[in-house]
Amino acid sequence: MSVTVLPPARVGRFSIAALGVLALALGTLQSVVEPALPQLQSELGVSPAEGALIGNTLLITGAVVAPVAGKLGDRYGGKRVLVLLMAVVSAGGSLAALAPNLPVLLVGQVLQGVMVGALPLSFILVRKHLSSAASRLAIGLVMALFTGGGMVGTLSAGPISDGLSWHWMFALPTVAIVVTTAAVARLLPHDPPVRADTGIDWPGVVLLSGTLLVFMLGLVKVTGSGLPPLAVGALALVVVALATGWVVVERRAASPMVDLRMLARPALWHSCVLTFVVTAAFGMVAFLLPQLFALEADGYGFGLGTTEIGLLLLPGAVAGAVSDSVGGVAARRLGLRAVLVVGAVVTTATTLALASLHTAQWQLALAKALTAIAAGVASTALLTRAATAVETEDTGIATGLLVVTRVIGVAIGGQVGGAILDAGADRTGLPAESAFATGFVVAGLVAALALLVVRVTKKGTQA
């Protein structure tokens, strides 16, 4: 690969500000769905499992775009690719804003998912055009504004949907993205592409996204439609075939989307398994809590609107953002094994307690904060561990593998939570209280698996 090295260029504060505001708008667009999900299910007339797809399709796209975003930026120029990705996100946001039904909204969410590629591209551009010290400040600013956007989305979804309609939850951030993308295109200097010796693993991208989508759609159909055994078997075979094809492609690709050969290293496959378990348990909790907040039923549920749900979820969002930033420090000071054990114990105890203690709003809000802290610290510690367990030139591959695993874990956890509620629906179609209890117990058991994995991989998780 021939690399063109640019000297650090002076870029104006307005350029960095435009990148930061873009990150703020993207974080807002990404996060509006969580507190509004019960409202979307009600207005679109869909089940909890179908509703879970609304947020999960965005995560799936993000999981497959994240590993290739940097390669696309190198090959075609970071600024050019960033602007093109934002055009796709804007199209997705517009489609979601105009969506008359679930299928159209899902397509919009799929397109919005490419926003995940914006952050690494922004970091690459900042690093190319600023000195090392200045780039660290700029990257911190962009990341902080993206996290802040998540909180803005959580808080603003309710007032916007109540005062206007849920369509405007997608429309307003999309308008901000269009405006700030235009500013970035005008203000930020161009960066030349790099001639690459290997191509981009498009077959891997297609097969991984296909595997995840078929799996999640299969969960919806199996739990909601009562498919016959032959149809269930056929779906399972399709998922296995797609997953097998993806593994074969990744092992043979010259430049794979996810280098599965890295999994031969114990430190990495241990980290991947633990990351998946931790984030899957959190994904279930993150899906179940808004559903219980919104449900209005005799003896359980609270009948809350989107605004109230957003306020109650905000402490968890703040806790998650803080814990993401301290995971690596905690692992260095306390040891990775201790961090993982404490995180698994906290999540297990919290979710099992929720199975019987879910009669007060503060109980659910506290549970969200505790599980967010546990998941954030543990997954960030594992990400840091993976980055330091490989050679410097393999850092991007190793961390990309963990990021993909983290996103997939959250998505599958949420989808399983939706499937449990569908399977436990009463005659009116509403989830029974026992369905929520079952979901919390299952989340606790999944979190407890982390303790077993830590025990089995004792040497690999020592400090």
Q: Are residues 281 and 376 in the same domain?
A: yes
Q: What is the mean pLDDT of the chain?
A: 79
**Residue 175 falls inside a structural domain:** yes
- pLDDT score at 395: 61
Q: Are residues 20 and 144 in the same domain?
A: yes
Tell me the CATH number at 147: 1.20.1250.20
State which H helix or E strand residue 303 sits in.
none
**Residue 197 falls inside a structural domain:** no
Q: Are residues 57 and 165 in the same domain?
A: yes
- The conformation of residue 8, written as its DSSP 8-state character, comes to P
196 residue type, one letter: A
**Residue 196 falls inside a structural domain:** no
- pLDDT score at 9: 47
DSSP one-letter string for 230-297: HHHHHHHHHHHHHHHHHHHHHHH-SS-SS-GGGGGSHHHHHHHHHHHHHHHHHHHHHHHHHHHHH-EE
Q: Are residues 178 and 95 in the same domain?
A: yes
**Residue 382 falls inside a structural domain:** yes
**Where is the domain boundary, 191, 211, 241?**
191
What's the structural domain count of the chain?
A: 3
Other Cβ atoms less than 10 A from the Cβ of 429: the count is 8
Q: Are residues 143 and 26 in the same domain?
A: yes
Q: Are residues 271 and 380 in the same domain?
A: yes
**Residue 4 falls inside a structural domain:** no
Q: Which tokens hold the place of 46? A: 């869909």
Q: Are residues 212 and 264 in the same domain?
A: no
- pLDDT score at 61: 81
Q: Are residues 126 and 207 in the same domain?
A: no
Q: Are residues 317 and 237 in the same domain?
A: no
| Range of the structural domain that residue 16 is part of | 11-191
**Where is the domain boundary, 145, 172, 191?**
191
DSSP one-letter string for 238-256: HHHHHHHHHHHHHHH-SS-
pLDDT digits (tens, 9 = 90+) for 87-103: 999 999 999 999 888 88
Q: Are residues 179 and 78 in the same domain?
A: yes
Residues of the chain with pLDDT under 50: 1-9, 463
- pLDDT score at 324: 63
**Residue 425 falls inside a structural domain:** yes
pLDDT digits (tens, 9 = 90+) for 312-352: 888 888 887 777 666 666 666 777 777 788 888 888 999 99
Q: Are residues 57 and 182 in the same domain?
A: yes
- CA separation for the pair 271, 263 (Å, rounded): 9
**Where is the domain boundary, 191, 224, 246?**
191
Q: Are residues 338 and 379 in the same domain?
A: yes
- pLDDT score at 463: 41
* Residue matched to tokens 């996060």: 31
